[in-house]
Amino acid sequence: MNSPVALLFNKLPILLVVRVEPPMAYPRTFGPAVDPITRLGWGLGIISLVVIVIIGVLLLAGVLRERVASSAANPHQLAVHRDAGGMAWIYVGGGISALVLVGCMAWTLLVTAEVTKLPSTPALTVQVTASQWWWSLRYLNAKPSNIFTTANEIHIPVGQPVRFELASADVIHSFWIPQLAGKMDVIPGQTNVMWLQADQPGTYRGQCAAYCGRQHAHMALFIVADTPQDFATWQDRQLTETTAPATEENRRGERIFQTHCAACHTIRGMNPAGILGPDLSHLMTRSTIAAGLLANTPGNLASWISNPESVKAGTRMPAQILSEPDLAAVTSYLNTLH
Ligand SMILES: [Cu+2]
């Protein structure tokens, strides 16, 4: 069953539907915090190519140029012949190269200044805390009751600048959503500030971009750029508090959650409220679990909860020793967290 041929045939349909443009392709970008960098990248690339072509042509011309005739006295001896004023070529070549390089440097500095300049009136500020191996997201608000926390999936309103304050709970990570912004390191004991803006609605994939341990590759994040109405709806949903579950099964699930999980996880409106793991208040509004590793389906939730280690080796969430019915009850309860 598991022969290489069978594997190939199992995987073939997946290979065929792989999108031509991978989700993190950055030759094409979608916002003012990154578009100048993209233009710079293309520009420097094209200039480098032109330089290579010019030098290649000159080199070929030099190699192929007919040599000045050897002196008649000794036909085996090549004449070393220098045009008067040949040094001028060196000055011209050196001068042009220097101009091009200084121009590239100036362009780079201008772009750097442009993309790092924080917007004076951001639509919102999100505090991002990176941990091995997931992202906690706290949406700040002047009104404390409007502050909420979520994980891994950052909703923002389309077409508006959003400010990010980046902190780390453990090691160095790097916050990178290639289609929307350049990389920014996330360093323990320091808060780095950056911004981005998405000009088109859609989901943009991001990834931790500094090796941060065993599951570094499974530390993805998503920016979902919503229309202003969709964003407002999402935000209102995040602000709602949990209510007592409707069925006996789910009430049991909630009790199991409180005894087994709430030391690490928060559900808005419930005590205690742990912060070692992602906020689960509105878990069902997220499309993936475990930082992009699994689609958020009831089956994946159950296998994650019963044995996270088998899904994401090294994860900071310990395996839960739960009976089958208890696991079903807690999973069913989590499925009510819309
Ligand atoms: Cu990381």
Give the domain ranges of the chain. Answer: 35-72+84-116, 124-239, 248-334
Q: Which two tokens stand for residue 61?
A: 């011309």
Sequence-ordered alpha helix ranges (H) in the chain = 4-17, 35-64, 87-116, 228-239, 248-260, 298-306, 308-311, 324-334
CA of 275 to the centre of ligand 1 (A): 18
Q: What angle do CA 190, 195, 198 make, to 5 degrees?
A: 145
pTM score, two decimals? Answer: 0.87
- How would you list the strands of the sheet with 220-226, edge to edge? 153-157, 220-226, 202-208, 173-176, 184-186
Quote the CA–CA distance of 98 and 131 in Å, as a whole number: 45
Ligand 1 centre from 186 Cα, in Å? 8
pLDDT at residue 65, rounded to an integer = 82
318 Cα: distance to centroid of ligand 1 (angstroms): 19
Rounded distance from Cα 184 to ligand 1 centre (Å) = 12
Q: How high is the pLDDT of residue 247?
A: 93
Task: State the pLDDT at residue 139.
Answer: 98
C-alpha–C-alpha distance, residues 261 and 291, integer Å: 18
Bridge-based pairing of strands 288-289 and 294-295 is antiparallel
Give me ligand 1 centre to Cα 259, in Å: 30
* CATH architecture of the domain formed by 124-239: Sandwich (2.60)
Dihedral sign for Cα 142, 143, 144, 145, please: negative
pLDDT at position 1 is 45
Centre of ligand 1 to C-alpha 156, Å, is 22
Q: Do domains 124-239 and 248-334 have the same CATH topology?
A: yes
Sequential DSSP letters for 210-251: S--STTGGG-EEEEEEE-HHHHHHHHHHHHPPP---SSHHHH
Q: What was the pLDDT predicted at 320?
A: 84
In sequence order, which residues have a C-beta less than 8 Å from that of residue 200 and are 6 or more positions away? 30, 158, 225
Given this structure, which CATH class describes domain 248-334? Answer: mainly beta
Distance 135 CA to ligand 1 centre (A): 9
All residue ranges of the chain with pLDDT < 70 are: 1-20, 67-85
